[in-house]
């Protein structure tokens, strides 16, 4: 394969352009913020459809960061291509989540040990049951160690990857809450399934941006650039993988 000419419909780059570990925020501007704030020698390696992807070094180790867009279809495309066409081994989703538990506070960090979902993403595998998407234990163990070093406030448990942001049923979250789900977001389950199918590793690290029970919420500017604790945990994890 001629790497200099290789690209997919969504990523115009070469496999050599990406590090083995990619951080994936949903927002392209958060990807840009991370590259400009934390990476040395950051180079823009992809910008198809405005999905910023950068590679640079962090504490001397090569790391990439690229946006996933919103929702399971979007992260499903980008993570699939990174795993299967660009040689990426580890992807960490670093995004926001809405808290669904009284034990979780705004700005807490949730490590998604598992990801429930309302999506039919797993239908493609033709399984005779329900697949349970889970994180890479190795990645999660290292990330928790890094969170402990920073004395970050965090919790570990189940996320809900929902296909719906504006749900017509105002009671939709209550049953998930009754089963101990900590927070709702829109990407982790697809990422975990793509990783499992490709034999790669994945982890979702989410900062709580709003609370379904209390109504507390952070604005879009805060979501874009103030979740630096989560970013540092992810970067410090990346260089240990």
Question: If we measure between CA atoms, which residue out of 203, 210, 205 comes closest to residue 228?
Answer: 205
Sequence-ordered list of residues with C-beta below 8 angstroms from that of 184, at least 6 positions apart, any chain: 97, 98, 100, 159, 160, 161, 162, 173, 176, 212
Sequence-ordered list of residues with C-beta below 8 angstroms from that of 20, at least 6 positions apart, any chain: 62, 87, 88, 89, 90, 241
Ramachandran assignment for 10, one of left (phi > 0), alpha (psi -120 to 50 degrees), beta (any other): alpha
For residue 1, the model assigns a pLDDT of 46
Indicate the average pLDDT of the chain: 94
Selecting among 27, 210, 219, 221, the annotated active-site residue is 210
- Tell how far CA 105 is from the center of its chain: 20
For residue 134, the model assigns a pLDDT of 98
Dump pLDDT digits (tens) for 203-233. 999 999 999 888 888 877 766 656 899 999 9
| CATH value at residue 43 | 3.40.50.1580
State the total domains in the chain: 1
Tokens of 78: 């980008």
221 as an active site residue: the answer is no
- Residue 58 structural domain: 3-238
For residue 57, the model assigns a pLDDT of 98
Cα–Cα distance between 93 and 7 in angstroms, integer?
22
Sequence-ordered list of residues with C-beta below 8 angstroms from that of 97, at least 6 positions apart, any chain: 110, 159, 182, 183, 184, 185, 206, 207, 208, 209
Stretch 67-80: mean pLDDT: 97
Dump pLDDT digits (tens) for 139-148. 999 999 999 9
Distances (CA, A) of 144 to 12, 47, 157, 229: 34, 32, 12, 12
Q: What values do phi and psi take at 215, rounded to 5?
A: 85, 0
Distances (CA, A) of 101 to 62, 97, 98, 151, 210: 37, 12, 9, 21, 11
Question: Within 10 A of 2 (CB to CB), how many other CB atoms are there?
Answer: 6
Q: What values do phi and psi take at 91, rounded to 5?
A: -125, 130
């Amino acid at each position: 394969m001629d790497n200099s000419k290789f690209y997919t419909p969504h990523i115009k780059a070469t496999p050599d352009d990406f590090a083995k570990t990619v951080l994936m925020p949903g927002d392209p501007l958060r990807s840009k913020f991370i590259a400009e704030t934390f990476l040395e020698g950051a180079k823009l390696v992809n910008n198809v459809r405005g999905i910023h992807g950068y590679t640079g070094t962090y504490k001397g180790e090569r790391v990439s960061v690229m946006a996933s867009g919103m929702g399971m279809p979007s992260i499903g495309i980008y993570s699939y291509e990174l795993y299967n066409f660009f040689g990426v081994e580890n992807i960490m989703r670093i995004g926001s989540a809405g808290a669904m538990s009284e034990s979780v506070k705004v700005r807490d960090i949730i490590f998604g040990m598992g990801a429930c979902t309302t999506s039919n993403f797993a239908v493609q595998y033709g399984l005779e049951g329900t697949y349970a998407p889970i994180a890479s234990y190795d990645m999660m163990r290292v990330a928790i160690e890094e969170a402990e070093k920073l004395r970050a406030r965090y919790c570990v448990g189940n996320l809900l990857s929902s296909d719906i942001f504006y749900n017509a049923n105002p009671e939709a979250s209550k049953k998930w809450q009754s089963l101990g789900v900590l927070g709702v977001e829109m990407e982790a389950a697809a990422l975990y399934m793509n990783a499992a199918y490709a034999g790669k590793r994945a982890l979702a690290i989410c900062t709580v941006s709003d609370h379904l029970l209390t109504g507390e919420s952070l604005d879009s500017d805060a979501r874009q650039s103030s979740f630096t604790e989560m970013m540092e945990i992810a970067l410090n994890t990346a260089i240990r993988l």
